[in-house]
């Protein structure tokens, strides 16, 4: 996989406002927030899109979701947040390193988009 903006953040080549890190993932504030709270949770393993994940990545994918919940609670929004995963350019994915958006701090409508 080619180097991305997110791999550069993981490698500390680009600064980011990191709010959580463990051995499998990193969470940081989005530089272009779409809500009062907009945090990205990314795996340290390079996976371009959700559709590129393998069965062997199941535990990692679950870890991303439980980490997102933990970070939302840490930020004070444990009971009211939205998670978004865009898969591919047509869905709005602009950085091809799998990431989960945590959005909180305002009301959201349904359906999205």
Residue (of 110, 102, 113) closest to 27 by Cα position: 102
Residues ≥6 apart with Cβ < 8 Å to 61: 50, 53
Number of other residues whose CB lies within 10 A of the CB of residue 99: 26
Instruction: Return the structure tokens found at 36.
Output: 């009062």
In the residue annotation, 99 being an active-site residue is answered as yes
The CA-based dihedral angle spanning residues 60, 66, 72, 74, taken in that order and rounded to the nearest 10 degrees: -100
Q: How far apart are CA 6 and CA 3, in angstroms?
A: 8
> Which candidate in 38, 97, 99, 101 is catalytic?
99
Which residues are part of the catalytic machinery?
99
């Amino acid at each position: 996989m080619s180097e991305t903006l997110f791999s550069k953040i993981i490698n500390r080549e680009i600064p980011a406002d990191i709010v959580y890190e463990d051995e499998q993932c990193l969470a940081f504030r989005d530089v272009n927030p779409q809500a009062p709270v907009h945090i990205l949770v990314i795996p340290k393993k390079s996976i371009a899109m959700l559709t590129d994940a393998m069965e062997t990545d199941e535990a990692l994918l679950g870890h991303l979701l439980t980490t997102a919940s933990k970070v939302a609670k840490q930020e004070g929004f444990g009971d009211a947040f939205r998670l978004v995963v865009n898969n591919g350019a047509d869905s709005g994915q602009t950085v091809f390193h799998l990431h989960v958006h945590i959005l909180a701090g305002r009301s959201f409508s349904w359906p999205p988009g």
